Amino acid sequence: MTSDKHTTHFGYQEVPVTEKASRVADVFDSVASRYDVMNDLMSFGIHRVWKRLTIERAAVRPGHSVLDIAGGTGDLTYKFARLVGPRGRVVLADINESMLRVGRDKLLDRGVGGNVEYVQANAETLPFPDNSFDCITIAFGLRNVTDQNAALRSMTRVLKPGGRLLVLEFSKPQSAALNRAYDEYSFRLLPRMGEFVAGDADSYRYLAESIRMHPDQQTLKGMMENAGLERVEYTNLTGGIVALHRGIKL
Ligand SMILES: C[S@@+](CC[C@H](N)C(=O)[O-])C[C@H]1O[C@@H](n2cnc3c(N)ncnc32)[C@H](O)[C@@H]1O
């Protein structure tokens, strides 16, 4: 979310709006090859449970058209490819070529084939016609986008009427005790794990900071409504460390 016309936040740093995307690109270029292993380590594997719930709530059926934007290494795309079947299609899209490459290689290794397309795209300016998708997911991606309102509008534009947007993102823990433990973990342990496993403490410091700067559950709900989505609701996961928001384009 931009804080004024000229600057925005990159973690706790205030940077020119024009700089955030390249800073984020540096982070994901740096972590791409170790991204999956770090995800399992950092979340103790729980990100798989969060993603499973996202897939369930997406209610994707054979023949559907799905966009997994900021899809990175393709965890959600992999599941959607099976659900939509040969008559459907899934677009794995990401702004970052390194992440997209790791995702494409992983899915091809797992035998995912003809119903998946790979597109390098910015969520703010999606290169698809209006009303293209039955379902769009953005998992742990919105936080990294410079203009989140523009991204929400762009995603709403390319949803078909009746289609759903699911936003899986870090959010605000609901208890003070959990908040304290989570702060300890993310500001002390996480950068050390990042250093040890991915040789990159800074990227994981950015992760912790960007989570704190991200809109809380209610704010994001309002942003989705402002973008034109209806019946927006959310579910807190793991005590609100993560929230899954869903909205419908009517
Ligand atoms: C934390 S990863 C999430 C990957 C995957 N969705 C998952 O849940 O494992 C965030 C992804 O968002 C992508 N990203 C950041 N800004 C973006 C933008 N403006 N448009 C599209 N993708 C973006 C990054 O390149 C990165 O691959």
Quick check: 164 and 58 in contact, CB under 8 A?
yes
The pLDDT value recorded for residue 3 is: 46
94: Cβ below 6 Å to ligand 1?
yes
CATH of the domain at 37: 3.40.50.150
Whole-number Å distance, alpha carbon 160 to ligand 1 midpoint, is: 23
Is 2 contained in some domain? no
The CA-atom distances, in angstroms, between 114 and each of 56, 134, 212 are 23, 19, 39
Note the pLDDT tens digit of each residue in 52-85: 999 999 999 999 999 999 999 999 999 999 999 9
Q: Are 152 and 224 in contact (CB under 8 A)?
A: yes
Query: Which whole number is the average pLDDT over 239-245?
Result: 97
Indicate whether 108 belongs to any domain.
yes
> Probe ligand 1: pick from 53, 107, 144, 155, max atoms within 8 Å of CB?
144
3 state SS of 112: coil
CA dihedral 94, 96, 123, 207 (to 10 degrees): 100
| Tally of structural domains, the chain | 1
Domain-embedded: residue 183? no
Does residue 185 sit within a domain?
A: no
Q: How far is CA 228 from CA 57, 64, 68, 175, 221, in A?
A: 20, 22, 19, 31, 11
In terms of residue numbers, what domain contains 84? 7-174+206-248
The pLDDT confidence band at residue 5, using thresholds 50, 70 and 90, is low
* Distance in Å, CA 93 to ligand 1 centroid: 9
Q: How confident is the model at residue 48 (pLDDT cuts 50, 70, 90)?
A: very high
| pLDDT tens track for 130-139 | 999 999 999 9
> Is the Cβ atom of 74 under 6 angstroms away from ligand 1?
no
Contact 72, 93 (CB under 8 A): no
Q: What is the pTM of this model?
A: 0.94
